Amino acid sequence: MQRLIDGFFLGLIIFAILGLLVVGGLVVVTGGRVVEEAQVFVLRLQLVSRQAELDAPFGGDASPIRFFIPPGSGASAIASALQEAALIRDRQLFIDYARVEGYDRRFEAGVYFLNQGQTIKQIAETLTDSSKSFIPFRTVEGARIEELAASIDRNGLFDFTGAEYLALVGEGADLPAEFAAWAGIPPGASLEGFMFPDTYQLPPDITATALRDTLLRAFRERVGEPLREAAQAQGWSLFQAATMASIIEREAVWRDEHALIASVYRNRLDINMALEADPTVQYGIQGARGAWWPQISQADYRAVDSPYNTYRHAGLPPGPIASASLSAIRAAIAPEESGFFFFRAACDGSHYHNFAVTFQEHLGNAC
């Protein structure tokens, strides 16, 4: 009997030793986080039955939603913000999934662009690397700064409004002195014509000032010193060249006509003939008819009282009327040589133009 008792106690001792070894092993393997790992294991088992919810997006709207993670935010705060932004349905499910997969230790502060078409799994992974976030933004040839401001508001991803942007680039704004001197922009003028049209990928935390400077830098880099020096060799500032280019941009539909249209306007300037450019009349209306580029009539040529109206005022208008492409800027500085003084839209609907030397020839090109 004593043997049985001794054997029993010996077994207990061995079992205890083995238990201690197992626990010790777990402590080593989990880095001392035995309880935490046990909880994660239980959560993982629970999530097995919720895979459908993890793979189901909040909705079908793919419109980007600006989402900001402040520094120091934990999974709980992030989940609450996601739910409030209508990006996830179940706050706790997001927290549990993030914990099981280790995302809760990898979430990174910053700005992200999410959408309702993303699943919890996709959102959790996205929120670990803010460097992949950017704002796609396009500035269009022939657009005025008010239209650019409207596109900022339509974009919906900027942390500032179009009105705030206009305050930095409109008439009377405090312009960057170095750029203004380089381009020959006179005091009090706006940056109309210098918002270089292109497609940009912008950092998510970009400010209105940084956007302005990005577009100005693109203008300076793309136009470059050779074109600026070529304009100066003709007695023109880059501001004057941009003014002419903006008119060419608004008149032409096809770029292969830029240089020829430029020749018409340069020929008119050479003999002190009024430019008589319809886009300058449209610009002078200043959106008063519900559109920035409204249809105009012959009566408007004299009725629109604006210094930009080149039917009423000789020479170049006070400044650019829109953003011009590099093609139009080149044409303004290096126009094609021609004897043309007139042009009008062709009658075939091609959006090309017929050019004429005399006014009689011009009348003959009417449809």
Task: Say if residue 107 is in the same domain as residue 165.
Answer: no
Q: What is the mean pLDDT of residues 106-129?
A: 94
Q: What pLDDT sits at residue 41?
A: 81
pLDDT, one tens digit per residue, over 242-265 is 999 999 999 999 999 999 999 999
**Considering just the CA atoms, what is the radius of gyration of the chain in Å?**
33
Tokens of 360: 């009689």
Is residue 71 in some structural domain?
A: yes
Is residue 347 in some structural domain?
A: no
Task: Say if residue 238 is in the same domain as residue 306.
Answer: yes
User: Which of 70, 100, 132 is the endpoint of a domain?
Assistant: 132
pLDDT, one tens digit per residue, over 172-199 is 999 999 999 999 999 999 999 999 999 9
Task: Give the C-alpha separation, 213 to 197, whole Å.
Answer: 13
Question: DSSP H helical segments within the chain, as ranges?
Answer: 2-29, 34-48, 51-54, 75-84, 91-101, 120-126, 145-155, 162-169, 177-183, 208-233, 238-251, 258-270, 278-285, 300-303, 326-333, 359-364
pLDDT, one tens digit per residue, over 294-331 is 999 999 999 999 999 999 999 999 999 999 999 999 99
Of 152 and 17, the one with more pLDDT: 152
Is residue 189 in some structural domain?
A: yes
Q: What pLDDT sits at residue 168?
A: 97
Q: Which residues contact 295 (CB under 8 A, 6 or more apart)?
A: none
pTM of the model: 0.79
Is residue 105 in some structural domain?
A: yes
Task: Give the C-alpha separation, 228 to 336, whole Å.
Answer: 18
Is residue 10 in some structural domain?
A: no
Task: Say if residue 125 is in the same domain as residue 274.
Answer: no
Is residue 9 in some structural domain?
A: no
Local structure of 354: helix, strand or coil:
strand
> Residue 66 sits in which domain range?
51-132
Task: Give the C-alpha separation, 15 to 92, whole Å.
Answer: 40
- State residue 136 phi and psi, 5-degree precision: -75, 130
Task: Say if residue 258 is in the same domain as residue 319.
Answer: yes
